[in-house]
A and B are shown apart, each in its own frame.
Chain A
């Protein structure tokens, strides 16, 4: 890395300084903390608490994708894979915890004809180990896939297609009963969480609060990251990778690092999501779901962390409401929303409230 280039990039220019003080992110973090406090003081109906917790998990997932798509220009259509890794490891922990506490084997294990959990489940009943394992597996898969792709300079739509194929392959694998993680039924029937019965109001509230606090932490952390020198390098890489590489930066290392971080954040979202819905099955690996994550980000506002959160909450909130109220109409509304956003509001709904000038890389795009 040449010293001159580093100073040039490190010196905060106008927009960069503004980026550190992001009122939207600050507001969202504050809102998350306030909501968490509100839940603890006066919890509303459990289903609302649960919905809020799920929305927070989706928002974390959206932030993880925005980090690579909005700030590095890498559109992953396979982020459902990392979400599912977190979810599956979490489900394995919950089941192993249940077995350790009650001694009753889960249904699918009995269905496979096993008399005890397979060897690779060893230790999963310890929450800390399971947590580390989930993040490690997600990071490792991302590392291998990212290393292979970024080194051979697979990018743009190629990367998108290949990542979609990756999640599709994973879905096919998990649909097989022989793979051993519940097959097409997935895993469900979690009895306990840290020794407390699943589904009791206290656990529901606790999970939602945990999700909201994690969202706040992830938002604040990623905000700090994209406001730092690394963040400016990310933008430079997105806007002109060749130039950044010519200047002496290892774009492969940069992309790989952020890509793995993003995968681990997505796994975090999966970890928080599964105990709240009480089930994980291969459907979270469907390519459509992974595209939907990109849709949340695009609708909310690509390249702004707050936009990703708003998009995820808006789309999923609408989905919760409309797929019950008028299930026929929901796909039409979603596709219409995507087309309107893509054609009219290239920066997502945040264009409606002009928070700041459009980034240069999108100027003149239409």
Chain B
């Protein structure tokens, strides 16, 4: 019965103490006298203010800030009974610091700030600016001053500033600084708490900060400190490793999405007609340029809706590139179906033509895209892993494309025709299917998919006339690996190639990763020339 009562009492006392501490006002007269005194007094006053600032009321801080500013700018005048703030150095009269009344200051002493005192006064001014600054710029300037002498700043100041801060970026900076200050604080208990706090929000930077503490003398001297540090470090390292793993998976997934988008159209065209479309990379480029065109149209006609251009570009890019593809098919490829190797050269010529056409008409420079809110930035999910919206856009886009393409191939009359012609062209023709028209539509579909890939690439890659050539070898490898004419095979192959690339990259570098993956595919194809998922053809 007595124990809870005592605890309650103790709690009350503690609360009272805290309240009284928070309410303790500044002894304004003593503070003014300190600043008017000799160098030692000035330092004492400034440092005392910094120590107490975390608990001072705002009007006291404003008062102290005014005095400190006047001292630093030589606008402080010290008659025998107090302090007078002048408007400018050497003015004949000013306002009394405490009452605000106008007083003559001509014959009074004007204290000069020595070099050694200046640092203490600047720190005090920075503290006041951080706590009472009217805008984030003023507060951040105050913080910059404090940063130089962070060891002398008490935790209460930084905590108060952090809790009151409204600007998110500044708040994060203050929090980081508070943590760093706590880690290097002379109080062992406070350091252990700080270590635990750092370990609670793991990141690569936190790991480096904790690892640096290992060389601290306390690590060897203080077993409690060492235990806390080791535990914290282990926790952070594990979390960072998991976060990095997640980032690898995420990057692999987004790379695979791009590969899939680039290869899906190829797979359909190759599977159906046996035509290697070397211009597919340039179709992707055209899709990106169509997106740019939509953005410019929005900028001219509906600047208010500019953020929506990326979504509006989806149908436009699909339609425009599909049209280009159908034109190429009708003019050129139609004549070459029995000569696949020649159609390969013809599509190479088309790609050369398109690249240079764009180069001459639009220019070779990278296009500048406005990044709408939904594809810029990201959310930090775990440790260092940030889920960036632009990559998520590409992943979601690829998933939607996959579903739609599968629906078209499996559930529409056109899809049925495409599958029939892919399996047995002659039989399909005998049954009355217009195979040539199916070819043309399928080529349009495949080209349109490349156009969509172009849209998805805009937020991630740099868009220029030569961008297509970077995809062509990779996406062909994906098509061949997946098995010709199998969209699911293309998907699996894209995931495999994308994942393998991202997995090998940290071990042996980007180029070596590409080389290893390509050699792996070449070797795999020696074992299974038909690829992973071969469509059974009837002959």
Residue positions of A touching B, CB distance < 8 A: 69, 75, 148-149, 151-154, 156-158, 160-162, 164-166, 168-169, 172-173, 175-176, 287-288, 291, 294-295, 298, 328, 331-332, 334-336, 338-339, 342-343, 346, 362, 364-366
Contacts and interface: CB of A to CB of B under 8 A. Distances in A.
A237 B526 CA distance: 21
B339 interface: yes
Contacts of A148: 522-523, 526
A164 B473 contact: yes
B349 interface: yes
Given A166-B522, A334-B349, A154 B515 contact: no
B529 A154 contact: yes
Given A339-B332, A339-B349, A157 B344 contact: yes
B339 A172 contact: no
17 contacts: A75-B341, A154-B529, A157-B276, A160-B341, A160-B344, A164-B473, A164-B476, A165-B473, A169-B514, A169-B519, A331-B356, A336-B349, A336-B353, A342-B342, A343-B332, A343-B335, A362-B339
Interface in B505-534: 511-512, 514-515, 518-519, 521-523, 525-527, 529
Nearest to A145: B522
A11 to B, nearest CB: 30
B516 to A, nearest CB: 9
B349 A165 contact: no
Please classify the interface of chain A as helix (H, G, I), strand (E, B), loop, or mixed, using the class held by over half of its residues.
helix
Given A164-B476, A338-B346, A365-B339, A169 B515 contact: yes
B324 to A, nearest CB: 15
Interface residues of B, number: 44
Interface of B: 270, 274, 276, 278, 332, 335-336, 338-346, 348-350, 352-353, 355-357, 360, 469, 472-473, 476-477, 480, 511-512, 514-515, 518-519, 521-523, 525-527, 529
Contacts of A295: 345, 348-349
Contacts of A151: 526
Contacts of A161: 276, 476-477, 480
A160 B347 CA distance: 14
A364 B480 CA distance: 29
Contact of A339 (B346, B360, B469, B477): B346
Q: Which 9 A-B pairs have the closest CB atoms?
A: A338-B349, A335-B349, A331-B356, A335-B353, A335-B352, A148-B526, A168-B473, A75-B341, A169-B518
- The winner among A151, A173, A175 for most chain B CB atoms within 10 A is A173
A129 B278 CA distance: 40
Contacts of B278: 291
Contacts of B518: 165, 168-169
A303 B355 CA distance: 30
A342 B345 contact: yes
B522 A342 contact: no
A153 B529 contact: yes
